[in-house]
Structure 1
Amino acid sequence: MAALAALGLVATLAGCGASAADGPGVTLTLVAADYGDSKANSSRKYWDAVVKAYEKKTPGVTVDVTVHSWNDVDRKIKEMVAAGEAPDMAQAGTYADYASADRLYEVDDLLSIPVQAGFLPQLADAGKVRRVAYGMPFAASTRVLFYNKKLFAEAGLDGAPRSWNELAADAAALDGAGVRTPYALPLGPEEAQAETMQWLLSGGAGYTDNVGTYRIDSDDNVRTFTWLKDKLVDKGLTGPTAPAELNRADAFAAFARGEVGMLNGHPSLMRMAADEGVDYGTAAMPGYDGREHATMGVADWMMAFKQNGHGEEIGDFLDFVYNDENVLDFSREYDLLPVTASASEEMAADPDDADLHPFLDALPDAVLPPVGKTSWADVSAAVKEQIGRAVRPGAKPGVVLEELQQTASVADRED
């Protein structure tokens, strides 16, 4: 893995921990997202263990962690910042707005050089705003195609599709065998931007071009959504719920009930399906031409606010957070991918992590959403709200994509 560029002397001093151990008492505050689905596996347990170990080795520093659900964490952070009470650190789904408002420490001023160099390059790059790193990747995942082996066998199918034409043919066979939802296409408001991006990538394009300019209405993207509408939705192969009304959580739950033949999924679906006894397989998302194309990657972020002036102590604590033991403990607990090269290599070599290997294999070539653009929040919200209209009966996908491009262009000019 390519290391990040060598950094200045200030980065060498940050994270060394000298004053963290020897200076007066400091309390750091951290607001974090909860990755668990019950009290038993709440992220609170993870952070309690990390903080206990850190405070034991670092007298004089206390770390106060507050954990919120994903439904609440971004709002809580925003409210704290607006009230002039920004936490020292926050771990959530976005960082660019705070970076653009000059509220965050640069990563160079926090982490030691070895920790910075250890991040996977594509994740580190995604943490930059105008080529300066502010977001530290905390957790990652990729998308693969999940398919129900039992339903495939009943439909006379013996493996995952490798092209769009094969996917459509397999969906038709599943439909003929009485499968309720041959292919689940969640374009509802919960996470439509992710399903959309995976399809755009498999069609050879994406939200942006190679230099980061939005190209939502490109010819390739129009072709992708026209194909989806004509070959899957209009033929009744996406189930009884209209894609614009189907959320990811509902699609995952239906797959776990054995009602869905195929869908795009991330690692958490493995546990859901296994808990319900679904015999599933995974494969690369088919490309339009039968070749594998880039898959979508997703990262959640750690950021550090400047307001309280605890940069050196924050850097020392985050150096500890990002050691391999902590990174792997978190990744394995929540079926996520490590954000560092060394932890990724250890996971790839461990047969006990074999179920995560397909996702891990996809990570080096994964493409992340343009999270470094402050405009992305508005564009993502617009996609969630509008993209489902592109596959409705009588719709013209190109018109919807043109409207989204106009929204993106305006937002980008204001970025």
Structure 2
Amino acid sequence: MQRRYLSLAAVGLAATMTLTLTGCGSGSGGNDVTLKLIAADYGDSKANSSQHYWDDLVRAFEEQNPGIKVDVSVYSWTDVDKKVEDLVDAGKAPDMAQIGAYADYAAHGKLYTADDLLSIPVQADFTPSLAEPGEYQRLQYGMPFGASTRRLFYNKKLFAQAGITNPPQNWDDIVSDAQALKAHGVKIPFALPLGPEETQAETLEWMLAGGGGYTDNIGKYTINSKENVKTFEWLQKELVGKGLTGADPAKLNRGDAFAGFADGDVGMLNGHPTLMKQAEAKGIDYGTVELPGANGKAKATMGVTDWMMAFKQNGHRAQIGKFLDFVYSEKNVLKFSADYNLLPVTTSASQAMLADDRFSKLHGFLNQLPTAQFYPANKTSWPLVSKTVKSRMGATVGPQGNPSAVLTDIQNTADTADNATE
């Protein structure tokens, strides 16, 4: 989730995993191979770092494959994409990376396809709505790893104190509920994190709620569509302009908004599954509903997935494939999802989660996954567009903001970048 559940997930840390794969033959030593894997850490502390998940998984893999060893090391989300980029630029690409974007590496011919690596049953098990964004020029290079969708979280205690009996179903409800919360002294009636941490996510959530999005159904950027302009004009006038966001959205980061909700200072916000654990740890009684839209439920929710990819530079295709088949087994996908409050990326693990009452609070998020809409991660222009959104969108909803002009500027940037890569 950058998505980051921006993510994506918890507080946005990252793990670099170094994989030492030692040939998949008899283990005689002559075919020993060392593979490097750099990947993201989804924990929010050393105690629940993804390091523990991978150490356990590697231990089980090595027991079944005595000729293969895996050595894991961990980096933060802040550094992980840059770490991979630096290694690739230095001619020292890792064999595998589990990070936020894959398309640029695919475009430069540096990656194996999923067809090259995975057994047919494993590849076919990916949830279709997650596998498709992993395709570049109709070939799958990005293998989904960890997913989330978005729902609106609300504080039940604060709602009750303000006399609100039902969660919001549309934008008018959001405004009236936020006004009631403000009247009862709630510090931040509706948290709108458009600060630099994960602006691209909050932006897409609101675009979808307003009937728009970053792209149309054939992948063309539609950033300055009339739907998107109308959405941000509404935010500027109805939420920010009426003092219902409590703080300057341009200065509010996602992590701070989540922390505020967990502290009981936020009445409502858009959130992903990892917020549940954060809120529960502070004793917050919360509810979730599908994202409200302009005239009812949003047409779709935002989905986020991170990507596993494999570089061709060092070879080792067979060994990488054997390990990834193990990584994507139902048992391991379900355990990772359970450990970090994320959604499974395979059909088999999703069905197992839906059938298990232990995960009932995730079921609402999971049921939205097949129709969720994702970042255009298969476009090599997306990293630049995402960076531009992060730097520009926060001020758009402020008193001096001009949504139409800003969205058109970003559209022009996107079109220029898109044309340059064609």
Instruction: Give the TM bin, normalised by the shorter chain.
Output: over 0.9
Structure 2: where are the runs of 5+ without partners? 1-20
Check whether the contact 2:208–2:298 (CA below 8 A) recurs between aligned residues.
no
Tell me which stretches of 4 or more aligned residues in structure 1 moved more than 3 Å: none
2:210 and 2:298 in contact (8 A); partners too: no
Give the CA deviation at 1:22: 3.7
1:258 to 252, 256, 264: 264
Question: Could you tell me which amino acid in structure 1 is paired with residue 339 of structure 2?
Answer: E
Give the gaps of 5 or more residues in structure 1: 1-16
Distance 1:318 1:67 in 2: 19
Q: Is 2:201 the partner of 1:185? A: no
Q: Contact conserved, 2:145 with 2:306, CA < 8 A, in 1?
A: yes
C-alpha deviation, 1:343, in angstroms:
0.3
| Cα deviation, residue 21, structure 1 | 2.8
The equivalent of 1:129 in structure 2 is 136
Residue among 218, 231, 238 paired with 1:224: 231
Q: In structure 1, what is the equivalent of residue 390 of structure 2?
A: 384
Matched residues in 1 for 2:382 and 2:302: separation? 16
1:151–1:261: 8 Å Cα contact kept in structure 2?
yes
- The match for 1:243 is 249
* Counterparts of 2:179 and 2:137, CA distance in 1: 46
1:168 aligns with 175
Alignment counterpart, residue 46 of structure 1, candidates 53, 58, 73 = 53
Partner AA of 2:396 in structure 1: A
1:283 maps to 289
The aligned residue for residue 371 of structure 1 is 377
Q: 2:403 aligns with which of 380, 397, 410?
A: 397
Q: For 1:360, what is the secondary structure of its paired residue?
A: helix
- Any idea what SS the aligned residue of 1:41 has? coil
Counterpart in the other structure of 1:91: 98
Q: State whether residues 107 and 135 of structure 1, in contact with CA within 8 Å, keep that contact through their aligned partners in structure 2.
A: yes
> What are the within-5 Å matches in structure 2 for residues 136-147 of structure 1?
136-147=143-154
* 1:21 alignment counterpart: 25
Distance 1:305 1:380 in 2: 24
Separation of aligned partners in 1, 2:168 and 2:340: 28
Is the 8 Å Cα contact of residues 28 and 61 (structure 1) preserved in structure 2?
no
The worse-fitting range, judged by mean Cα deviation, of 338-347 and 167-176 is 167-176
TM-score (ref. length: structure 2): 0.92
Q: How does 1:284-363 map to 2 (within 5 A)?
A: 284-363=290-369
Distance 2:319 2:400 in 1: 58
Matched residue, 2:7: none
Letter in 1 for 2:254: R
Question: What amino acid maps onto 2:385 in structure 1?
Answer: V
Residue equivalent to 1:10: none
Quote the Cα distance in structure 1 between the aligned partners of 2:390 and 2:298: 26
Q: Give the aligned partner of residue 154 of structure 1.
A: 161
3-state SS of paired residue (1:277): coil
Q: Per the alignment, in what secondary structure is the counterpart of residue 35 of structure 2?
A: strand
Contact 2:40 2:76 in 1 (8 A): yes
TM-score in terms of structure 1 length: 0.94
Question: For residues 238 and 38 of structure 1, what CA distance do their matches in structure 2 show?
Answer: 29
Q: Is the 2:193–2:252 Cα contact (8 Å) retained in structure 1?
A: yes
Q: Give how far 1:65 is off.
A: 2.2
Counterpart CA distance in 2 for 1:20 and 1:306 is 18
Asked whether the 8 Å contact 2:146–2:306 carries over to 1, the reply is yes
Map of 1:72-83 to 2, 5 A cutoff? 72-83=79-90
In the alignment, the residues of structure 1 paired with residue 47 and residue 199 of structure 2 have an alpha-carbon distance, to the nearest angstrom, of: 30
Cα distance, 1:381 vs structure 2: 0.3
The match for 2:126 among 101, 111, 119 is 119
SS class of match (2:24)? helix
Q: How far does residue 143 in structure 1 lie from its aligned partner after superposition?
A: 0.5
Q: CA deviation at 1:188?
A: 0.6
Deviations 1:298-354 (A, max 9, x none): 001100000110001100110010001100110000000000001000001100011
Task: Answer yes or no: is 1:36 the counterpart of 2:27.
Answer: no
Pairing 1:58-77 to 2, within 5 Å after superposition: 58-77=65-84
**2:415 matched to which residue of 1?**
409
Amino acid in structure 1 at the alignment position of 2:397: V
Identity, % of aligned positions: 59
Pairing of 1:266-281 with structure 2 (within 5 A) = 266-281=272-287
C-alpha deviation, 1:284, in angstroms? 0.4
1:247, distance to aligned residue in structure 2 (A): 0.5
CA distance in 2, matches of 1:27, 1:196: 41
Among 101, 126, 131, the residue aligned to 2:108: 101
Partner letter of residue 210 of structure 1?
N
Residue 64 of structure 1 deviates from its aligned partner by: 2.4
**2:245 aligned counterpart, secondary structure:** coil
- Which residue does the alignment assign to 2:219? 212
- Distance, in Å, in 2 between the alignment partners of 1:60 and 1:397 is 58
SS in 1 for 2:61: helix
Q: For residues 74 and 118 of structure 2, what CA distance do their matches in structure 1 show? A: 23
Is the Cα contact below 8 Å between 1:389 and 1:400 reproduced in 2? no
Q: Is the 8 A contact 2:126 2:345 kept in 1?
A: yes
2:15 alignment partner in structure 1: none
Per-residue CA deviations over 1:259-307 (Å, capped at 9, x if unaligned) read: 0000000111111111111111000000111134200000011000001
> Which string of whole-angstrom CA distances, capped at 9 and with x for unpartnered residues, describes residues 379-406 of structure 1?
0000000011211103221111111111
| Deviation of 1:358 (Å) | 1.3
